[in-house]
A and B are shown apart, each in its own frame.
Chain A
């Protein structure tokens, strides 16, 4: 199975900061990667599909990039509602796998 390793596992930041989360795959997944945001007690919400495409309705401060084995999710200017846990997920091959998550906390 393809392993996805996110870094950092947790992060403290302030409103207005620029934040980058990385996701590294144990083997290439082409552009078959998505990013999700999950808030406590809620299901995940798709932010970025196919590595770099912003889902309709998601604020433009979110962006994704990368292909192959190295991917990034960037939040250009953190807003209070962005404090949550973020997951990457690959769908290039079965079994589908998720990263372990990055918890973004308020500093």
Chain B
């Protein structure tokens, strides 16, 4: 069965960096678009970024553009997001999410999430 396991979350000071990882299994990772979606405590869902199946296309939310970089290693079945210049408003649970298609469409499998807290 599809499994998505995020790691790398924690407490970080404003302005610092953090890299999240997502280990995927149970499906052909290299065939699907992959996303990061976040949810601040007690708030709704916010889409963060997507990377196409081959890594050639990447799109970002305006709120993270220029600060976050999504990437993938299809040989390791792993998705990443490098988060720089972190702000308090980036505090959220970050979900790794599989797309149903090669780039961006419906989101059919979600990890359990990893919590990022940006605080001094």
Contact = CB atoms under 8 A, between A and B. Distances in A.
A65 interface: no
Interface residues of B, number: 21
Contact of A46 (B61, B106, B111): B106
A34 B107 contact: yes
Contacts of B53: none
B50 A96 contact: yes
A5 interface: no
Contact of B45 (A91, A94, A95, A98): A98
A71 to B, nearest CB: 13
Contacts of A94: 50, 59, 104
Nearest to B110: A43
B63 to A, nearest CB: 9
Given A91-B104, A91-B105, A43 B47 contact: no
Contacts of A62: none
Interface of A: 1, 32, 34, 36, 38, 43-46, 49-50, 55, 87, 89, 91, 94-101
The 7 A-B pairs at the shortest CB distance, nearest first, are namely A43-B110, A49-B106, A96-B47, A34-B106, A98-B45, A94-B59, A101-B44
